[in-house]
Structure 1
């Protein structure tokens, strides 16, 4: 029995495979990100071809596309304007491939070139934004290196790029009423799709992962009984309310949130400038000095201990 998929089914099959490989990468197998890139690239190419077919079913074939591109070049207009002129002239693009039993289809770049011409009729804003184009170029370049030469993968960069692409594709499909991607995802992969579709969830996941990676690195090679001697604290960030504030050398406070990059928190422990005891900065008294600087003084060194006793 033959195995046959139409272009939509083919695209969704590749997307579900990309999600499966992405999840394997998330679970500690970085090699799987390679295959997530390949499947995601294939999915993107087919999605853009589905868009082209929605404009004209013949435009997806190279001979027809080149005919339109030639007119665009000759008249110095966009390829979308050239297509609209040809359509207004009632020229049937199908005649260009009538004698070809297996016509060659256009490339991802050609489909994207056409899509980039689309603008909102009210605001005149491009439907395809520059970030989407940059991410497509990045994943396309990485795919070519994987398929034809050698490559280097930065897992975090791969995860974030695939997340941005998923969110952009959802918007792209909605704008042109091509499909509801959420309803097409297999149940076994929906939790991965949901995470990638939600920018906040994905970025928080990355921030939490960074905290764990830093913790693992700082305690590597240290025996558990010596953990108490390692200066490592994770604070709750007052800006985003996530437990993602960790030591950061370049910060003025010595800490930085891996999620929102905030560096300030009253919970960060600071040493008393008199006795050296450490307490949260909010629990310290601040004493202005003659040179304009400020000293931190703990409960005992500030005199509060004696004042409370006298009361």
Structure 2
């Protein structure tokens, strides 16, 4: 395994001029104002009975794949449904008091659906972005939630969770980071505990091609190579420099090194998960936002 590089320091970031800094501060100020207006809109919708669920600030909502309040709710439902279905198929009865971890919970699109439909579950959540955690802690007081570091370990004891799920985190980890986190999630899962994790795969290549992106990389190449980690380090360092001016709405505040987009072929995903000591159970293509695959694996007692 490659050594994880040291955290980014200020000297490694590009220097921003006065005009760029002014634009960043102005944009941050505008986001704060939009958050206030959005909160007022949500309050009105709540008062007339059209919204009955916690809503994140607009600046956090738009850092997910959701650009509207409706999409935030509906995409949380459609992305959680395959996970809940897989969990039940492979033996996790969520009507019972199970321990469930939302790893990389974001602003709780999936957690919302879990907590409102399965009240017997003991829900836990973690995310590396403290702004996400601030929202989740305020909106879901019964959920055990905290801001984890970008690197393992998590604060949980060995053999804690009956189910661990994660949406659109392993699609951004580098291969080395993904190996570390798979082993860590295996550690905190109970024997026979399930892991339902989403990954980019051949379906994702089709999705980005329809949007005119990465046209030089094909499904055939992915199937041949096994995986593809696409990262624009220069763009990440520029964004990191911008976030150093103001962390409001930041996407990199918790990241010590560049992240990108990781794609797995189905065969490589199977081998990758098995190399982490997990029993590979199933792969459901394109069931997450019609873009990502759902990989279902288990911490088998035989591998303990």
- Which TM-score band applies after superposition, normalised by the shorter structure? under 0.3
Q: Which protein has the larger Cα radius of gyration, Structure 1 or Structure 2?
A: 1
**Normalization by structure 1: what TM-score?**
0.21
**Normalization by structure 2: what TM-score?**
0.22
Higher relative strand content: 2
Higher relative contact order (CA 8 A, sep 6+): 2
Higher relative helix content: 1
